[in-house]
Chains A and B, each alone.
Chain A
Amino acid sequence: MPKRTDIHSILLIGSGPIVIGQASEFDYSGTQACKVLREEGYRVVLVNSNPATIMTDPEIADATYIEPITPESVESVIEREHPDALLPTMGGQTALNVAVALAEGGMLDRHGVQLIGANLGAIKRAEDRKLFQEALEGAGVKTPRGRFVRSVEEGVEAAEQIGFPAIIRPSFTLGGSGGGTAYNMEEFREAVRHGLDTSPVHMVLIEESLVGWKEFELEVMRDGKDNVVIVCSIENLDPMGIHTGDSITVAPAQTLTDREYQRMRDAAKRIIRAIGVETGGSNIQFAVHPSTGRMLAIEMNPRVSRSSALASKATGFPIAKIAAKLAVGYTLDEIPNDITKETPASFEPAIDYVVVKVPRWDFEKFKGVGDTLGVQMKSVGEAMAFGRTFKEALQKALRSLEIGRFGLGGDGKDLVDVASLSDEQKGEWRRKLRAQLHTARPDRIFALWSAIQLGVPTDDLCEITGIDPWFLFNLKEIVDFGGELQSGDAGRELRGVCAADASAGTVREESAAKTLARAKALGFSDRQMSHLLRLPERQIRSARRRLGIVPAFKTVDTCAAEFEAYTPYYYSSYDEEGESIPSTRKKVIILGGGPNRIGQGIEFDYCCVQGVFALRKLGYETIMINCNPETVSTDYDTTDKLYFEPLTLEDVLSICELERPDGLIVSFGGQTPLRIARALEDDGWPILGTSPEGIDLAEDRARFGELLDRLRITRPEYGTATSIDEAVAVAERIGYPVLVRPSYVLGGRAMEIVYQTDALRTYMQLAAGVSPDHPVLVDRFLEDAFEYDVDAVSDSHDVLIGGIMEHIEEAGIHSGDSAMVLPPYMVSNEHLEEMIDSTKRLALAIGVKGLLNIQFAMKDDVVYVLEVNPRASRTVPFVSKAAGIPLVSIATRVMTGHRLRDMGVLSFDFRKIPHVAVKESVFPFAKFPSVSMFLGPEMRSTGEVMGIDSEFGAAVAKAEMSAGTALPLGGTILVTVNDRDKNEKILEIIRGYVRLGFSVMATEGTSRFLCASDVENRRVMKVGEGRPNIADHVRSGAIQLVINTPLGEESRYDEFAIGHAAVEHNVPFITTLSAAATAVKAIERMKSGPLGVRSLQEYNRNGREER
């Protein structure tokens, strides 16, 4: 079937902010879909509230709406753009949910918009467990025993039939949120109650537990002529009971025979038909009993997903791109396979390597959250690696995680140094590990190294962990070889050869080379070898190169080499034949950001990809190195060459030695590439842009302090302490409050604001391992200061200020968590000028060539510099879109030798932007109900949204809406603030709410304070004071908004209770006065009439006219 000509324009919905369970994979999918649909001649209208995405770049769609993804706002877009069709399958659950609301609300019919890619029935059958079970039953596919319940009582009945352990799955929630496993009735009641609360339809599924079953996934595609192909099979190393997003997964499946695999394939075909996905991709999960082979279908997603992104990267088969083409009418056999060019997409990829994905967690950022893994996803990112064996791929994936590990073990970071233990201690450790391994935790895979090393049999480990013995056997092969290197004859011989400086050309050397080659084929990194052989890493490296043990780069080609591949998509393996042939073109390597984590996410991928686009325009060959399967940067379409590899020094150097690039860009990918910048330069590879020396200068406190003194730029007073007493002395010298943080971050203890000596002593005691090598940094904390972020580009002659953002929250809240507004609206031009001037002088003094981010604080009319980062910052995409200036592209041109003054950009003035953009952060509090919701100096947000409009109130309203905060238009607000906040400012804010018609409830102290100033309010009880208390009021729906500033230790219980209740019932929970003040403005604007929508292209056009 040729493509449809009855539709001309298509509305695509993105997935909104990055949250746990919905990350950059939807930017990858959505960007592919936009590109494909435009290539096919359709006009593409995009709605996505996330400014950090590539897809919302104004070049990607015809009309880009950075607007809330709510039915109302999307309908406004439909009214303006009149699309013929809506493609809801590219934006995760968010897009599907909004599409369902639009369809059911009659909005799509009213505007004549048809759903393509998935119809309403299919979406509902896949999402609603009950309809899902019925559909599968009809198709003859078995599902777990289970029952839907709408109350705790009904649940108890179901549990009596099904037995324990039982799984509780709330209907219609993201990433399985609100779900859990219960082992007894008490746990069960609590879990059902929580599940019912979380489910928007107030329904949960009680299901037989499949804990310990093997888990598989199939990525399925179907076209309009009912052709079905399986793109990829995935086997979870972790058994059922652990969310697939939190499992180590392997592609293709490893432990199924063909007969079993084909049975699964048959079931998948029946399922996609029964659910009624007419065109597009779906992910279907199966459980298989390890000893009987009983197979059950668990779940299906009728859309692209995290797994489909993974499968696309793992096979080279671009699921989202093909799904978009199928949605407009093509059939699989009409779509060519990009990679082979000559063969069609109607086949099933054959791969000749193994792919391993490992999740990345950030529990240390969320104090109070248990790090046990279960049916609810908790990971914030993932790394993926290729190898010719499972062992090689696994070790590569583990060293890609950016958690300081360089493989499965033997890298100096093992749980225990087994060699140093007495027999008795070994016994103790065995007992300890056996107990510990029962529970899945982020470090379980590493603990398995130690357990195997200690001689715990793999059979026992299989029983304890539920991990298939095949995987455990492979782990054992790695561990055993590690032991051989550490203390075996082969290791001794290899050590001798590595320690010798020059080649002796002996037989011994030949045999050592074999050992080394074997180690590399098992995925051992040079760093692991260095620890196991007790030699410096560089010695391993030079011996390895001398012996000719270097990686071969093989092609990802969808067809196991059966056909010639045209797509330069490579991975390394210690095998014989390399296939990557370096060109003679001028070329630049861009280092990506690695796995997403808190503080380093999609923003940096945006920068890397924009950098690539700019370099391509400048005529360079572009080469990307990255290991994050979710991203646009690891789409083989993005760069001229893609190396899907870990970002460790060793792996990057191997590529440099083959490609011999003219330059490397290390400043777009966040911290990951910067970590190795200096070493790359020392090895002789040219770093483009600001030199590693300049980057170090900005990070070195002493040298940076000197520079500021010389430039007469003020910074808060600071000191460094290597002991408790020293810290107290520094704090007394510079004055409380102080901001303290370790000079290095070692899992957990990070930044804190301390108001007095006792607290400082406590902090120092807990900051274990403080020593002269690892001092604690103490800075004067500027309380109630305003903060600003500047993003600029310098070519070391001129400086372009992209924008200065004003933080909405006062100082003390991590800039990544703070809401921000551009242009600033409460600062004098004089102070802005001062910041601009300081930025320019600092940029030139440091010798910045490229991007630069500076954080300023202002208190009592004094402007302080807090931090200078001569690299891409998290706010670059926001500024670029809000201000309509392509900062990365400009920076890339600068880095390749162009001058700002030749680009005609120096006249740009962000103060003349005729609209207002607000960035708001999004937090995983709903996923982690036990963490404090008060913001602080430690970043915890997973993502961001942008609200853009012609005035501040509307921009804030949109930003809040996009962040999922439903600001009320009336009702009751609850106010409970600490003594420092009982001031004129709060009175003014509360009067604002009252003026808008809100009534006020307050806790005792706050209530008295408000009464004293004649603000009418009703006193309510705190949690300990009786019932109904504040939390009860939130639960009963009597409160529409909470203003609660941190009260300190004694009220923590109350705060958790209110916060928890607010999150559960989706009541806005505001924790700072400034945010409370902005919310008034937003509500005021919302009450005055509907918010309009406008495309980014229109904003930019107006901006240019204005200038």
Chain B
Amino acid sequence: MNRPAARLALENGTFFTGLSIGAEGEAAGEVVFNTGMTGYQEVLTDPSYAGQIVTMTYPLIGNTGINDEDVESQRPWLAGFVMHEYSSFPSNWRSRRTLDDYLKEHDIVAISGIDTRKLTRIIRTTGAMRGIVSTVEFDDARLLDRARAIPGMAGSDFAKVVTCREPFHWKAGVEGSVPPLPAMKGAAARHRVAVVDYGVKWNILRRLAAYGNELTVFPAFTPAEEVLASRPEGIILSNGPGDPAAVSYGIEAVRRFLDSGLPLFGICLGHQLMALALGGGTYKLKFGHRGINHPVKNLLTGAVEVTTQNHGFAVEWSSMDERSIELTHVNLNDGTVEGFRHRELPAFSVQYHPEASAGPHDSDYLFAQFSAIMEKP
């Protein structure tokens, strides 16, 4: 099949020409890369990618098509998608449609056939940049103007865009034909858990449910009182897109949650919000961590976990009060903060994604740990 041409422009004036995949049109956003060799469907549906154009460094995308099960939300949230070779012929017993059809259905603009390694190297050396993918505009100057016109990620609140509009109860989701990870032993009790949805990945909900919890999911901007009024036994601060510092309502709510003394577990954006609520600071990483192979050391056990990561901001450890906060996890690649816990309160958080999906299941114990904390009188 002959595909229309597509062009990708970076704000620094680098251009790539490739072929269009998915919807025709134009999409601008922050250009980032993900190094996972599997899991493009999970990446597509991960709300944390809102506002971003995601480049897959693995060169063959589309091999396993799109199935009905491996979704992390109702639809793709990312701005655009970039790959080296699009495989128009999917082969997998669970595949239901091609990636191309899926992208078209959800109006996502994507480009294939470019040197994604070159693009990755540019992002690595220059840092994440704004960019634009277009199948309609080929005038470089105009493309560049449009790429430079969008706001940068710093200061952007995307959580309000991707969060659910109404609270809802999570019903055991589609687990599908691949058996899920069994829950670790000793977590049979049912607890009411409130999940604050800043862009929650469904696998967080699936894992919490697997540990026997009853879940109520609240929109990001729900006032803390309303969440607490549901009388949860524990609260999850979910992952989500954008700059944590811009989610001021979230920071405020987390302070109330901390005050409540309820078990609190922050993941990714939720982790950053907890840090900010505790008086710490966050900063933007040069090009972020996005992949499923980052080694994280658990300082409490000495064990190394291979983790799923997706974040462009990180917690500044020097800004945290070590008298009340203990560093529990650190990234072995670059030494960044990956997790901490409160020394007195039953609150802890991690920067990475213990729910994996895509990625290794090494950190599933954190859900067991959360359930265990709720067990305590």
Contact = CB atoms under 8 A, between A and B. Distances in A.
Contacts of A225: 302-304
12 contacts: A259-B70, A263-B179, A333-B297, A333-B332, A347-B294, A347-B306, A348-B292, A350-B36, A352-B84, A474-B89, A560-B58, A561-B117
A1049 B294 CA distance: 66
Contact of B93 (A291, A342, A563): A291
A344 B335 CA distance: 11
Interface residues of A, number: 58
Interface in A321-364: 331-333, 342-344, 346-354
A292 B60 contact: no
A229 interface: yes
Interface in B43-78: 57-60, 63-64, 67, 69-70
A124 interface: no
A344 B295 contact: yes
B38 interface: yes
Interface stretch (B187-195, B210-218, B356-364): B356-364
B332 A346 contact: yes
A350 B58 contact: yes
B124 A561 contact: yes
B120 A560 contact: yes
Contact of A577 (B118, B291, B334): B118
Interface string B301-313: 0111010000000
A263 B178 contact: yes
Interface in B284-341: 291-295, 297, 302-304, 306, 332-334
Interface string A205-242: 00000000000000000000111010001000000000
B64 A257 contact: yes
Contacts of B60: 254, 354, 389-390
Nearest to A473: B89
Contacts of B306: 229, 346-348
B295 A470 contact: no
A253 B36 CA distance: 12
A559 B42 CA distance: 20
Interface string A245-288: 00000001111111111110110000000000000000000000
B291 A352 contact: no
B361 A262 contact: yes
Interface in A173-230: 225-227, 229
A266 B361 contact: yes
Contact of B91 (A227, A258, A468, A560): A468
B70 to A, nearest CB: 5
A902 interface: no
Q: Sorted from nearest, which 8 A-B pairs have the closest CB atoms?
A: A258-B39, A470-B91, A576-B115, A258-B358, A577-B118, A473-B89, A258-B38, A560-B57
Given A352-B117, A576-B118, A259 B178 contact: yes
Contacts of A261: 38
B89 A470 contact: yes
A119 B114 CA distance: 49
A291 B93 CA distance: 5
Given A255-B63, A561-B121, A227 B303 contact: yes
Contact of B178 (A260, A290, A353, A388): A260
B256 interface: no
A537 interface: no
Contacts of A259: 69-70, 176, 178, 357
B157 interface: no
Interface of B: 33, 35-39, 41-42, 57-60, 63-64, 67, 69-70, 84-85, 87, 89-94, 114-118, 120-121, 124, 176-179, 181, 291-295, 297, 302-304, 306, 332-334, 356-361
A293 B303 contact: no
B325 to A, nearest CB: 23
B99 to A, nearest CB: 12
A579 B58 CA distance: 18
Contacts of B293: 347-350
Interface of A: 225-227, 229, 233, 252-263, 265-266, 290-293, 331-333, 342-344, 346-354, 388-390, 468-470, 473-474, 552, 554, 559-564, 575-577, 579
A579 B292 CA distance: 25
A333 B333 contact: no
B241 to A, nearest CB: 20
Contacts of A469: 89, 91
Nearest to B90: A470
Given A347-B295, A350-B37, A577-B115, A470 B93 contact: no
A229 B118 CA distance: 28
A462 to B, nearest CB: 9
Contact of B333 (A257, A342, A577): A342
Contact of A348 (B89, B90, B297, B360): B360
Query: What DSSP secondary structure best describes chain B's contact surface?
Result: loop
Given A258-B39, A562-B124, A332 B304 contact: yes
B337 to A, nearest CB: 17
A333 B304 contact: yes
Given A262-B360, A388-B59, A560-B120, A257 B291 contact: no
A577 B121 contact: yes
B356 A262 contact: yes
A390 B70 CA distance: 25
Nearest to A254: B63
B84 A343 contact: no
Contact of B64 (A255, A263, A562): A255
Nearest to B175: A259
A552 B116 CA distance: 13
B93 A293 contact: yes
A233 B295 CA distance: 18
Contacts of B121: 561, 577, 579
A561 B120 contact: yes
A218 B82 CA distance: 28
Given A258-B39, A469-B91, A560-B35, A350 B57 contact: yes
A561 B292 CA distance: 14
Contacts of B177: 293
B91 A562 contact: no
Contacts of A346: 295, 304, 306, 332
Contacts of A470: 63, 87, 89-91
Contact of B120 (A266, A333, A562): A562
A130 to B, nearest CB: 26
A389 B333 contact: no
Contacts of A577: 115, 117-118, 121
Contacts of B124: 561-564
Nearest to B203: A259
A480 to B, nearest CB: 12
Given A351-B58, A562-B33, 12 more contacts: A257-B64, A257-B92, A258-B39, A259-B178, A293-B178, A333-B297, A346-B332, A352-B57, A353-B59, A562-B124, A564-B124, A576-B114
Contacts of B115: 552, 575-577
Contacts of A552: 115
A170 to B, nearest CB: 33
B37 A351 contact: yes
Nearest to B332: A344
Contacts of A554: 117
A719 B332 CA distance: 71
Nearest to B125: A564
Contacts of B67: 257
A343 B334 CA distance: 7
Contacts of B332: 333, 343-344, 346-347
Interface centre among A262, A263, A473, A563 (most CB of B within 10 A): A262
Nearest to B67: A257
Nearest to A332: B304
Nearest to A352: B57
B181 to A, nearest CB: 7
B85 A350 contact: no
B207 to A, nearest CB: 13
B357 A258 contact: yes
B117 A575 contact: yes
